[in-house]
Structure formats: structure tokens, C-alpha cells
Structure 1
Amino acid sequence: MKSENFYRVFIKLALPLICQQFLNVALNLADNLMIGRLGETAIASVGFANKYYMVFNITLFGAFSGCSIFMAQFYGKKDYAILRKIFAVMIMLAVFFFSIFSFLGYFFPEFVIRIFSDDPEVIRIGSEYLKIISLSYPMTAISMAVIMSIRSMGKTIQPLAISFVAVMVNVVLNYMLINGKMGFPVLGVNGSAYATLIARILEICMYIILIYKKGYYLKGKLKTYFGLSKEIVMSMVRISTPVLLTEIIWVCGTAALTIAYAKAGTEQVASVQIGELLLNFSTIVFMGIANASSVIIGQAIGAGNLPRAMEMSRKIMRIAFVFSIICACFLEVIAKPGLVFYTLKPEVLQMTVRVIRVLGVAVFFKMLNWTILIGILRAGGDTKVAFILDTVFLLFYAVPVAFLGTVVLKLPVYQVVALANIEEIIKFVFAFWRYKSRKWIHDLTNIVKH
């Protein structure tokens, strides 16, 4: 593939993924703004219920990611018959996980919310919200299975269009049901839950119609979804398990970092939270780059063209390097002007600016690491090494250093953030070494027979 063609294909894949990430962030922002009008208790209640959803969402992503690696490689090999069988495995995983999370969320919502808070009013409001929102989990799980299957084939425009419609419906229904507009009753927090449920039902209906009309090698007779060989199943477990564990440990690790920063005081941890909110804009860009990389490289490996996969990875690293610099500069420039919407004490404002500038340096290495570990190594089936690099330095360096800095050394939080984020530099050294070794390239279509 010529360079100009490669960049055209890459942009065609990455841009819709970036837009889809932006839609998700925009929906969360709209939810927060509307629910924020109902008071602090409502914000806390929905926030705790959404933490439960976050665990559910990350579990699904981890479970499906391994399957989508196989899908991308077999699609590149043009072995289309096996795609339906892998898709059936993803649907079974979706059913398994949504059954657990929906059951707990619907029948034991108080137990779930009580994990996060012992405030009776928060438990009451959060439980009502969670009981409704848990009914949307089946549609969420199956929709994600379809999204990741289609995406592994390089189809990103269609999921973006469906997500856009679903998000717009969700926002409009939020406005009507939370506030009781256009003749609807005032449902408050529960209105937001009903809005999400309706939007999820609409979303899954659109995906069913899409598969029915387009096929994408996922539509077929019932018997074509079965018969996946034991070798493939075992290989999928071997590839998927490290990804699932990575996502779960990452959530626990970042939660531990938040606890550590909180030891420095409420005002200082608020500075970190504001800084991380601005950092999320860079996250949107690099999740798109990483996911597009995974599709392109996975298909090239599946097609048996390993030199082309390596050449593509070099081009992707160049793209990542340029955008890492752009994102770093963005955070450095926005450090002070980006805080005009906050009412902060002078000392908190100064601390927040310092935190953002520290994150501006860290984001350069953080985004390169995401590109290598999520976009390149996972695409090559090198999930075990990616798991080690993603978790070891987080658990055994960043978290202990953060607690040491706040609890023992009593350092300002921006210095603690700086010390903890040295993890990204250490990780990059090992990740880049692994990338250059080419040992991450595994043709999974040759490892297994079907």
C-alpha cells in the first residue's frame, strides 16, 4: 500500500472512531449538566450507579477485544465463514456478562450502591436509577458485540451514524423526562435512566436492521454459527484473558491512584480531577488511533503480509508521535485559559495549572504507549506482554509512589502526579523495545485450524 493510500485509509478508519468517542464524552457531559441541576445528592447517586456500569462496560470491552483480534486477522485472510462462529462466541459472552450485571443491578441495587456510599438518600435514589438502567444492559452488550465485529472489518462509518442517532435521542429524552418538558411528567434522575433505556432499544434495533440488510458476513443460517474448533476456542481464551485482566486491573489501579491523590486533601485532588478531565480530550484522539491501528495491522497479519504489517506500524508510530506532540502542546497552552469556567481559590488555581502542565508532559508518553500496547501489540496477538507492561508498572511503581508522596513525604499533589507518571516513561522504554523486536507479530490464522 502506497503511503498516500495508507494515510487515506487510516484517516477513514480513525476519524469516525474519534467522533464516536467524542459522542460518548458529549453524552456524559450532557447527562452531568442536566442531572447537576437536581443537586449534589442526585449527582452522587447517578455517579455511583455509573461506576457499576463502567465496570460492566470495561468487562465487555476486555472480553470482546480478544475475539475482535481474531476477526480482524481472519477477515484479512478472507476466511469469512469463521467470522460468524467468532461472532456467536461474542454473543454468548454478551449474554453471560449482561445476565450477571443485570441480575445484580435489578434485584440487588441497594447492595451495589451501598458499596460506594452509606448515605440513605443516595442509596435510595441510586437504587431506583440502577434498577431501571440495568434493563438496558442486554442491549448494551449485544450492541457492543456488533460494533466491535463490524469495526474489525474496517467498517466504522455505520457504527458512528447509529451512535449519533442514539445519542441525540438520549439527550432529547433526557431533557424531556428529567425536567418534564413537552407534556411529559417530571421524573428527575429516573428520567435519565428511562431515556438511556429507550435509546439503547433503538440502537439495538438499528444494528439488527443493519446486519439484516448489509450482512457483513455475520448473517447466515443458524447452523453456520456453530462448529468452532477446540483449538480456536482455546486460542481465543489465551488471547482474550490477558486483555480482560488488563482492563480490570487498570480500573483498580486508577481507582487506587485517585485514593492516593485524595490523601493530599480535597482541594488538591480536585486539581487532579480537573486536569484529568482536560486529559480526556487527548484520550478521545488516541483511542481512535489505537483502534484503527488494531484493525489495519490485524488484517495485514491475517493476509500473511508480515512485512506490510511492520511497515504500516512504522507509519502509525509516526502519526502517533505527531499527535502526541500536538496533545502535549494543547495541555500546556490550555493549562490556565481552560480554567476560566471554574471558580477556584488562587492557590487551587495555581496548583491545577501545575497539575495540567505535568500531565502535558506525561501525555506524550501515555499516548505513544496506548498506540503500541492497544493498537499494535494487541493486533499482533501479543496480549500477554501487553498485559504485563500495562499492569506491572502501574501496580508496583505508580500506586506505591503516589501513596508514598502524599502520605509519607507530604508533597504537593502536582509533584506526586509527576512522580507517578514516570511510570509512562519506564513503560514506553520496554514497550518500544518490544515493538522494535518484531516478536509481537503472531499470525493467529495459522496457529489454529478450523
Structure 2
Amino acid sequence: IIHIFASDEKLVELGVSYLRVVVVSYLLNGLSMWYFSSLSAKENVKISAAVYTGSFFVNLICNYLLIYGNFGFPKLGVVGAAIGTIFARAFQLVCASIYARYHERDIRFGLRDIFDFDKTMIPTYFHLSLPVIGDDLIWSLAVSTQLAIIGRMNSDYVAAASIASVAQQFVMILVYSMAKSATITTGKAVGQGDYERVKQIGRTFLVLSAFVGILACGVVLFIRTPVLSLYPNVTVETKNLAYQFMTVIAGIMLFTGIENTAIVGILRGAGDMHYAFRIDAGCMWLIGLPMGLLAAFVWKLPVTYVYFFLRFDIIFKIILCIRRILKGEYIKDFTRNHAS
């Protein structure tokens, strides 16, 4: 699998070493994310925010100790990064278990509670969840394909893109927070049957998400140099390329706030998962990836231009989402008291 993303054997070997260890974290992360998402659905977001913040610092500290071997710890490199991720996800799971055991009364987290569910909800669950699962799966494959295109151009580009992703991941906290707020607020209004308020919420979040995109753009531009200072051992060429990547990412962030809030927040929150799936998957695979392939291997453009064209689909997503939301065609009430 790693050979899909890079042809450099040393890079492939490092990737394999990382994946062999970090795979343990996926199960831990899945369990904790399920629980904290359930808490967020009932408007309890403080505990998840606190735990994810703590998890970030656990990961940061473990990386500092284990990647570079500081304070007498072994110098493990990429394996140390994988171990740090495992510790961070384990921290999340332990916090979820403790909170469920001693503080939460509505959403339980024991093994018996996990497997004790309402079987009559299974058809509705699959009807609603399959488009979301499919969307996220196809989206992940598209992102992986984007990385493969960049990696196949030059292995050095992967390092620069990885550095730039630090800035992107940092500001995406703002974007994801806005999207999650839109999901909860929209879903609650739909469940109450107040459809006019749902439409008002959708329009309001579109405006708010535009401001979040502007803020995210400014933050990326501001932290470009501080992010590069965290990597003193990389070459000047890699740093310059990472700086250019972050500049492109800043421009993309102007649109990402609206895109993420519209698809993940408003459309999914209102029950319009099937349309969200068609927009997200269709635009990425029919517009973004083909444009990126043409830019990389036919037009032979510089890698920063290739990265831009790989995300060119975001413009079409926004146009289709705004049209859908402003026309009010996205409200699908699946709550039992109204759907029946």
C-alpha cells in the first residue's frame, strides 16, 4: 500500500514501520470518538473538548520524548510517533470510561451497554448511516489518492506536504467545531419539527462559516514561519516548499469553512445525507482528482499548482450546497414522532 504513495524505498520502509504500530490506535480512537460524539449530540461538548485538548498534549509530549529521545527516553523516530498516537488515543478512551462510570447517566459505556440496543432502529440506522459511512470512506480514498499523486511527483514533496498539514490540522479545529455546532443545532430543530427555524439556522451557519474560513485563512498565514521553526533539521528546499503549500492551504481555507459546515453540519444534521454524499464524493472524484492528475502528469505544473487543482472541486461543492440550503430542499425528518 505504501508503494502507492511513494517510490522511495527508505520512505516506504518508514511508512510500514509506522503503520505496524499505529494500527492499534484505530480501535481505541473509534470507541472514544463514538462516545464523545454521543455526548455532543445531547449538547454536552465541554468534556469532549477538554479530553481532546488533553489528548493533543499527551501526543505532543510523547512525540517529544520518543521521536528524538529526550530526557533519557529511547530515540524511536517514526515508531515513537506511532506510540505517541497510541498513548493519546488510550488517554481518550480512559477518560471516556471514567466519565461514563462516575458522571454520565444517560449514555453508558460498558460492554453490556454497547451491545444492548433497540433492534427496531436497525433499518433506520443503516438508511441514515450508510451514506455517511460511504461518503467518509470515499473521501478518505480521495485524500489518499491526492497524497499518492503528490508523492509520485517527488518523494521530497511528501515531507513538505506533511509539514504544511500541521498548520492545516490546527485550523481545522475551528472548521470542525463550526460544523459540529451546525449538526447539533440543525438536528435538534428538525427533531422539534420547527422547519422554518431549520432554514433560518442553515442560512445563519452559512454566514458564520464564511467568517470562520476567513479566520482560518489568516491563522495559517500567521503561523507559517512558527510551524517551519519546529523542523530545524529539514532542508531549505523542503521548508520553502512547505511554506508555499501553507500559502495555498490558506487560500483553500477561505472556502473550507463553508464546505465543511454545509455538508457535514447543515445537510447531514437535517437528514439529507444522500445528497451530501453525492455532492462530496461526486465532486472529488469527477472534478478534483482528474484536474489534479492533468495538472501533475499532463500539464506538468509545479506541485503547488497541482495541490490547488486537487482541491478545485471545493468551488462546485459550495455552489451546489448553497443552492440546496437556500431553496430549503434538504430537511428530512427521521425522528419517530414526526416520521410516523
Give the TM-score, by structure 2 length: 0.79
Count of residues in correspondence between the two structures: 332
Which of 435, 438, 442 does residue 325 from structure 2 map onto? 435
Deviation at 1:445, TM superposition (A): 0.6
Give 1:188's match in structure 2, choosing from 76, 79, 88: 76
Residue number in structure 1 paired with 2:148: 259
What is the SS of the residue equivalent to 1:378?
A: helix
The CA distance in 2 between the partners of 1:261 and 1:406, in whole Å, is 8
Matched, 1:214 2:103: yes
Q: Does the 8 Å CA contact 1:264/1:410 hold for their aligned counterparts?
A: no
Match of 1:391 in 2: 281
Q: Which of the two has higher C-alpha Rg? A: 1
Aligned partners of 1:204, 1:404: CA distance in 2, in Å? 43
Higher mean C-alpha deviation, range 282-291 or range 193-202: 193-202
- Equivalences for residues 178-327 of structure 1 within 5 A: 179=69, 181=71, 186=74, 188=76, 196-197=85-86, 200-219=89-108, 226=116, 228-230=118-120, 232-266=121-155, 274-327=163-216
Shift of 1:438: 1.5
Name the CA distance, whole Å, in 2 between partners of 1:131 and 1:266: 21
Change in CA separation of 1:299 and 1:356 when aligned onto 2, cut-off 3 Å:
same
**TM-align CA RMSD:** 3.8
Which residue type is aligned with residue 272 of structure 2?
A: D
* Cα distance in structure 1, aligned partners of 2:242 and 2:269: 37
1:165 Cα offset (Å): 4.0
Aligned to 1:48: none
The one-letter amino acid paired with 1:218 is I
C-alpha distance in 1 between matches for 2:61 and 2:217: 35
Given that 2:35 and 2:109 are in contact with CA atoms closer than 8 Å, whether structure 1 keeps it comes out as no
Letter in 2 for 1:396: L
> What is the SS of the residue equivalent to 1:441?
coil
Asked whether the 8 Å contact 1:324–1:363 carries over to 2, the reply is yes
- Mapped to 2, the partners of 1:345 and 1:169 lie a distance apart of 31
CA contact (8 A) 1:324 1:364 kept: yes
Residue by residue, what CA displacement relative to the aligned partner does 1:138-175 show, whole Å, maximum 9, x if unpaired? Answer: 43332222111111111111123333444444555555
- Which of 395, 399, 421 lines up with 2:311 in the alignment? 421
TM-superposed deviation, 1:318: 1.8
Aligned position for 2:271:
381
CA separation of 1:132 and 1:293: change in aligned 2, threshold 3 A? same
**Residue deviations 1:204-236, cap 9 Å, x none?**
333222112223412499699746243x21121
Q: Distance in 1 between matches of 2:197 and 2:95?
A: 36
How much identity, in percent, do the aligned residues show? Answer: 22
Equivalence for 1:362: 252
Partner-residue secondary structure (3-state), 1:246: helix
State the match for 2:290 in structure 1.
400
The one-letter amino acid of 1:402's match is G
Residues 210/220 of structure 1: CA separation in 2 closer, same or farther (3 Å cut)? closer
The aligned residue for residue 96 of structure 1 is: none
Q: 1:279 to 1:312 in 2, by over 3 A?
A: same
Return closer, same or farther for 1:406/1:124 CA change in 2, 3 Å cut-off. closer
Deviates more, 1:276-285 or 1:294-303: 276-285
User: 1:336, CA displacement in angstroms?
Assistant: 7.5
Query: Secondary structure at 1:444's aligned position in 2?
Result: coil
Match of 2:43, SS state, is coil
The alpha carbon displacement at 1:126 in A equals: 4.6
Partner amino acid, structure 1, of 2:264:
I
Once the two structures are TM-superposed, the CA of residue 187 in structure 1 deviates from its matched residue by 6.9
- Which ranges in structure 1 are unaligned for 5 or more consecutive residues? 1-111
Who is 2:299 aligned against? 409
Structure-to-structure mapping, 1:25-44, within 5 angstroms: none
Q: Structure 2 vs 1, CA of residues 402 and 156 (structure 1 numbering), >3 Å: closer, same or farther?
A: same
Question: Hey, what's the Cα distance between the residues in 2 that align with 1:294 and 1:166?
Answer: 24
Residues 309 and 249 of structure 1, relative CA distance in 2, 3 Å threshold: same
Instruction: Report if aligned partners of 2:160, 2:245 keep a CA contact under 8 Å in 1.
Output: yes
Instruction: Quote the Cα distance in structure 1 between the aligned partners of 2:62 and 2:243.
Output: 37
What is the one-letter code of the residue matched to 2:51?
A: I
- 8 Å CA contact retained: 1:264, 1:406: yes
Deviation at 1:123, TM superposition (A): 5.1
Q: Which structure's relative contact order is higher, taking Cα pairs within 8 Å and 6+ residues apart?
A: 1
Moved more, 250-259 or 198-207: 198-207
* Structure 2 counterpart of 1:371: 261
Question: Do the aligned partners of residues 278 and 233 (structure 1) sit closer, same or farther apart at CA in structure 2, a change above 3 Å counting?
Answer: same
Instruction: Give the alignment of 1:74-85 within 5 angstroms.
Output: none
Tell me how far apart the structure 2 counterparts of residues 187 and 240 of structure 1 sit (CA, whole Å). Answer: 42
For 1:138-217, what aligned pairs fall within 5 Å after superposition?
138-172=27-61, 179=69, 181=71, 186=74, 188=76, 196-197=85-86, 200-217=89-106
Letter in 1 for 2:195: L
Structure 2 residue runs without a partner (length 5+): none
Q: Assess, with a 3 A threshold, how the Cα gap between structure 1 residues 437 and 143 changes in structure 2: closer, same or farther.
A: same
Normalising by structure 1, what TM-score?
A: 0.62
